[in-house]
Amino acid sequence: MSLFSIWLIPCEQDSRRLRQMIEALSRPHGAVPFDPHVTVISGETGDPDAVHALVKRVASRTSPFVLDVGGISCTESFFKSVFLTFEQSAALNRLHGSLRSRIEEHPGYRFFPHLSLLYCDMPLEDKRWLAGTVDAGMGPIRFSGLRTTTPGTEQGWRDVAAWRVVGTARLSA
């Protein structure tokens, strides 16, 4: 069995802008930059390609949509070092429900829509300071795709550089 995650991917223009923010926060702290995404669901499977086939079907029945940024936050967690939060979204909740009805979630996964800007082990005070440097008035983010990913190594998700893309599907309803 291997782990997988389904990511909601920003449109190209927003992705470029977010990638620049991620790189600007990552490089000075020795962190690995990554593609901007919102994890919609995570689980385990023996066949990531079969999971992606389901993802493509869901994507073909889902229209691109916008999420309004609610704010910027941070936690002690490596995976929620510095991140954008979002306002409630019926479109995102429907997407999560649609995927969840077809794919079994990992028992430890909790749906908490956010877009990470940094994955890094550092003191919380430093993360708070970094979060304060991010422009909170960035406006809504348009999402246009779903991506199926796996960790790529036995080290799991913490080995950010080894993440492997199984496939990407455009939201096209």
Among the residue ranges 2-6, 52-56, 105-109, 110-114, the one predicted with the least confidence is: 105-109
Q: What residue ranges do the domains of the chain occupy? A: 2-70+85-118+140-170
- For 39-53, write each residue's pLDDT tens digit: 999 999 989 999 999
Q: What is the CATH number of domain 2-70+85-118+140-170?
A: 3.90.1140.10
Cβ atoms 83, 69 nearer than 8 A: no
Share of the chain above pLDDT 90, in %: 84
Q: What is the pTM of this model?
A: 0.94
